[in-house]
Structure 1
Amino acid sequence: MKDSKGHQADRRKFLIGMGVAGAAVTLAGPALATTSCKSDVRWDQEHEVVIIGSGFAGLAAAIQAKRLGAKDVVIYDKMPVLGGNSAFNGGLFAVPNSPLQKKEGVTDSPEIMTKDQLKAGRGVADKELLKHVATRAKEALQMTLDAGSEYFPYLQQLGGHSVPRTYQTTVACGAGITQPLIKECRRLGVRLVTRAKFDSLIFDDKGKVAGAKIFEGYYFGRGKEGSAINVRSQRGVLIATGGFARNVGLRSAQDPTLTEEVGSTNLPHATGEALLELFDVGAVPVHMAYIQTGPWASPDEDGFGYVSNYSIYNFAHSISVYPKTGRRFMNEIADRKTRADAELTCRDDDGKPLPPVTITSYEHAKEHPTMKKVLKYGVGWKFDTLEELAAHFNIPLAPLKKQIDEYNGYVKAGVDKQFGKPMKKAKGKYLKAPFVTVRNWPKVHYCQGGAKIDLKARVIDSTTWKPIPGLYAAGEVAGGMHGVSRLGSCSIPDCMVMGMTAAETMMKG
């Protein structure tokens, strides 16, 4: 056997350079998973199921594998703490036909959710994968509930969703899911290893993934690789390492506008090395240029911050105005790409960014727990009068007053005549003083591109178009499911369902 580092040295350069013109295409290349005799590798450890990455996908896979009878499951994560980027996401979970929908009288189905996602995907999303995830989202939700996750007792309607279907954790972040799942993994006897960086895959003499090279004692950002060990897996390896939003070179090669000047909501370690390793061994790159920016992010704080969740909740009953005109310029709950593109047009006379201002009545803003932190940390502002608000942001007062009067008319009528925003969640929520405001500007949030997988979470080979034996992927590292734009709150069901699916496939193999 040998690991994939012995394969063509220029493979990475080709992959990093692909898509420079911004084309989002599915690329095929030669499979590179060459093999050699078993005596080439000395195994330091052996486990039944090996999982790389401790976010939603990896944790769900480990729990499902244990439920299906796996005796020895291990998760490796390169960081010093578990949960990955998942722990810092918004904790928003889209579920059709959920108990809360039944309670609130909302009509929904996996088919309706899939239709919403296909629309956002601009015709290139994977219908079968989306339908698979939507059909099992309620099952994934139940896994989190069984583990101890807690959610607010109401649903949110996020941008691009035709009905309210989104749960949110009571801590308003993904840790409300990852921490209970980590606890459940420990209860089930899953081995959890931190500071363990995945390096490469190891194949047996029949071309099947037999294990992985791991560096133990790894310290991210310190230039310390750690000590290499070869880990054998009886049932294959699941890659669940997330996206590459923080890899500026890779993302800007796909979309030249995403330079180092563009911020990201992701943690610094979202750099995509495992994804490049999948491509090294012949996985199909798909939709690599489809990289999503979050229209609810703030230019006034780093990373995901507090404004993101605040805005996601409040957009449904707020207005966003262009400071130069005092007028709305978009449907505040359109899909992410539509809103991000609209925000990017907000410029001053010199063409520099002029972030739009989102205005919410204090009466309704305070309903979400993040408002207190938004104000406390100075990334949002409270004003007692519209005059004070307009003066602070240099917004012309007369058109702003007119805009608010018009919008309140839409609230009363239940119809947005300007941009067609669904007004169900705005019912009775008029804009009136005092006001809370934030500024919004897109940040790189999610990479729709990655390695192509099938409905069983198996990684597809670029020459045979069949699964690479023993190799699985789930979550953001897998590409093609969401197309051009992913709807908010759909990453958690994607990660969890495909992690569960991978475990099921591995245990049947």
Structure 2
Amino acid sequence: MAQVIVVGGGLAGLSAAHTLLERGANVLLLDKQGFMGGNSTKATSGINGAGTQTQVENGIPDNAKIFFEDTKKSARDLARDDLIRVLTGRSGDAVNWLQDKFGLDLSKVARLGGHSQPRTHRGNAQFPGMVITYAQMERLEDLSVSDPERVKIYKKSRVTKLVKDESGGVIGAEYERNGKIETAYGPVILATGGYAADFTSDSLLKKHRPEYYALPTTNGDHCTGDGQKMAMAIGASAIDLEKVQVHPTGLVDPNEPDAKVKFLAAEALRGVGGLLLDNEGQRFVDELQHRDFVTGKIWENGKYPVRLILNGQASSEIEWHCKHYVGRGLMKRFESGEALAKDMGLKPEVLKKTFDTYNAGVKAKKDPFGKKFFSSGEWSMNDYFNVAVMTPVLHYTMGGLEIDPESRVVDSKGKPIPGLFASGEVAGGVHGANRLGGSSLLGCVVFGRVSGDSAAAYLLQTTAAAVEKAGGRLGSLAGHLESKPASSQPAPKPASSSSAPSKEFTSADVAKHNKKEDIWVIVNGQVLDVTNFLPDHPGGEKAIILYAGRDATEEFNMLHDPKVIPRYAPDAVIGTLKK
């Protein structure tokens, strides 16, 4: 079967690619970054699913209808019912698919803001977005090596234009790779993400929400609305481009408080019982309200800095996240309420009164801010606390290309553009005015699979029609649909860690290389020169720079499987640590 072009290597594109392969189509995946994964790897709370096996085992009475109603309410009645039905109706199957096909642990389930039932799934360790995305990414890269005729992956390949035929259908894409413009032919699935980091000259963000333009963002610098712009240039319709979500809890780095890019504080931190306090030590909002509501209350209250505070019990429930944030200097641990009050510039009795008032509300199930769902356990000054300073951040763009329930991109007249599909954040109309936490990964998987199904069916239909029209001249058709890149060599096999250089370095040697333009780190006894890898790191440069000239083993092992280095950065290994 001929190929489908997938533009974007995040979870939406990967889910589409795997679905295409299941349906018998070949895949050419083009990603403009040097490392796939996109923002999907940063998702920290989990993936929603209604009616899953995990929920059944935990006695949670959830179903697609309840999830539909929660999503519609969150969307402020601006999302399209047909797309919500696809998202929620296929949610349980999406979670099951991830567990069955990729062997993922999604055995924990939590309730996030705006959800009437616990339905956000994650495993016991690591960020769920990273775990889910890496599983798909590694499987696809293995296939590109073992079966390069079926799977081709071209990184650092920026798609610049969609190619149309005389009838207006999309038949391919132009992309820039190795300094050359190449053309690939086949139906196209756009999975390029949103525009919440679109600070370019033709910024969709500045055009549609100029008041948000100066806010920090959680998005990588690749989120510049490429897919939306290319599709609109050939007549695609866009919807809800002004609907931009500002997440209430971006982590403020005390050493770089004005940084444009912020790390997100997982909504799960509030889901396990974290409280938001202003600079007077007072609560001002139901922490589990919708994201836009909490953001609005932060701005309305206006008493900064705002802190997210987890007591001992909440910290233990999400210990891995806290340890990670503390390790990155984004969260601080206090051994008592008195120590915390001192750091906040408050008298201990002020903080104690806030805790006592909250405890009374929990006991009476009557919170002054309308909170309905509480974690067990009392707040006490004789406890330890993990604390971080919060700020609202640009996070997600609900607007995007208008699609139908089959993920087909439609034109201004509402008619599908032949050969063009969209999935993930590039598509609009799914979440309305506000997206629920946990539905980002879900949207990627659900509509990734829908777009893969639709594109495979379209490819089969057009191939059959063309063969019939050409009187059986299949060879000519196949030649038209195949990619014509400058090089079609299969991806090289990952280097083995055993092939690392044998040169030895001391810790003192490594410590000398502690600047962005010359940066070494130690990971599991290996010495890595990561200077050239910095721009490609999916977690951003800061995550590596923090450990410049130091041993990053503990932090690395918290986030990554050991095979990540030989697979993705074998050339960075320059030797071993001298014992």
Do they fold alike, i.e. is TM over 0.5?
yes
User: Deviation of residue 329 (structure 1)?
Assistant: 0.4
Change in Cα spacing, 1:490 to 1:431, as seen in structure 2 (3 Å) is farther
Within a 5 Å distance, the mapping from 1:8-407 to structure 2 comes to 47-70=2-25, 72-90=26-44, 92-148=46-102, 150-151=104-105, 153-169=107-123, 170-188=125-143, 189=147, 190-217=151-178, 226-233=179-186, 236-248=187-199, 249-260=203-214, 262-300=215-253, 308-309=265-266, 312-324=268-280, 326-348=281-303, 354-368=304-318, 369-395=320-346, 397-407=348-358
* Rounded Cα–Cα distance in structure 2 between residues aligned with 1:149 and 1:253: 43
Q: C-alpha offsets along residues 344-390 of structure 1, whole Å, 9 cap, x if unaligned?
A: 23435xxxxx1312222124313320111222333222223323212
* Rounded Cα–Cα distance in structure 2 between residues aligned with 1:431 and 1:412: 14
Q: C-alpha offsets along residues 423-448 of structure 1, whole Å, 9 cap, x if unaligned?
A: 25x02354452222112111101000
Q: C-alpha offsets along residues 214-260 of structure 1, whole Å, 9 cap, x if unaligned?
A: 1112xxxxxxxx21011111xx1111100011113321221122123
User: Deviation of residue 341 (structure 1)?
Assistant: 1.0
* Rounded Cα–Cα distance in structure 1 between residues aligned with 2:273 and 2:213: 33
User: Deviation of residue 304 (structure 1)?
Assistant: 7.6
Q: C-alpha offsets along residues 132-172 of structure 1, whole Å, 9 cap, x if unaligned?
A: 11111222223322343533532111111111000124311
The sequence identity of aligned pairs, in percent, is 29
* Rounded Cα–Cα distance in structure 2 between residues aligned with 1:150 and 1:346: 41
User: Deviation of residue 502 (structure 1)?
Assistant: 1.2
* Rounded Cα–Cα distance in structure 2 between residues aligned with 1:47 and 1:87: 30
Change in Cα spacing, 1:431 to 1:67, as seen in structure 2 (3 Å) is farther
CA contact (8 A) 2:274 2:314 kept: no
1:501 counterpart residue number: 450
Query: Is it true that 1:447 corresponds to 2:413 in the alignment?
Result: no
Q: C-alpha offsets along residues 91-149 of structure 1, whole Å, 9 cap, x if unaligned?
A: 61000011111111111111111111111111111121111111112222233223435
* Rounded Cα–Cα distance in structure 1 between residues aligned with 2:91 and 2:248: 25
Query: Is it true that 1:458 corresponds to 2:408 in the alignment?
Result: yes
* Rounded Cα–Cα distance in structure 1 between residues aligned with 2:120 and 2:436: 11
Change in Cα spacing, 1:367 to 1:305, as seen in structure 2 (3 Å) is farther
User: Deviation of residue 474 (structure 1)?
Assistant: 0.8
CA contact (8 A) 1:343 1:355 kept: no
User: Deviation of residue 333 (structure 1)?
Assistant: 0.7
Q: C-alpha offsets along residues 20-76 of structure 1, whole Å, 9 cap, x if unaligned?
A: xxxxxxxxxxxxxxxxxxxxxxxxxx9521110111111111111111121x21110
SS in structure 2 opposite 1:155?
strand
Change in Cα spacing, 1:165 to 1:327, as seen in structure 2 (3 Å) is same
* Rounded Cα–Cα distance in structure 1 between residues aligned with 2:387 and 2:135: 34
SS in structure 1 opposite 2:78?
coil
What amino acid is aligned across from residue 127 of structure 1 in structure 2?
A: D
Within a 5 Å distance, the mapping from 1:461-472 to structure 2 comes to 461-462=411-412, 464-472=413-421
CA contact (8 A) 1:151 1:167 kept: no
SS in structure 2 opposite 1:344?
helix
User: Deviation of residue 187 (structure 1)?
Assistant: 4.8
Change in Cα spacing, 1:304 to 1:108, as seen in structure 2 (3 Å) is farther
User: Deviation of residue 399 (structure 1)?
Assistant: 3.6
1:22 counterpart residue number: none
What amino acid is aligned across from residue 64 of structure 2 in structure 1?
A: P
* Rounded Cα–Cα distance in structure 2 between residues aligned with 1:473 and 1:272: 13
Give the TM-score taking structure 1 as reference length.
0.82
CA contact (8 A) 2:110 2:118 kept: yes
Gaps of 5+ in 2: 459-579
What amino acid is aligned across from residue 23 of structure 2 in structure 1?
A: L
Higher mean C-alpha displacement, 247-256 vs 326-335: 247-256
SS in structure 2 opposite 1:139?
helix
What amino acid is aligned across from residue 313 of structure 1 in structure 2?
A: L
Higher mean C-alpha displacement, 188-197 vs 285-294: 188-197
Structure of larger gyration radius = 2
How many correspondences in the alignment? 442
* Rounded Cα–Cα distance in structure 2 between residues aligned with 1:444 and 1:148: 31
CA contact (8 A) 1:285 1:451 kept: yes
SS in structure 2 opposite 1:179?
helix
Gaps of 5+ in 1: 1-45, 218-225, 349-353
Moved over 4 A (4+): 301-307
User: Deviation of residue 313 (structure 1)?
Assistant: 2.7
Change in Cα spacing, 1:284 to 1:502, as seen in structure 2 (3 Å) is same
CA contact (8 A) 2:49 2:94 kept: no
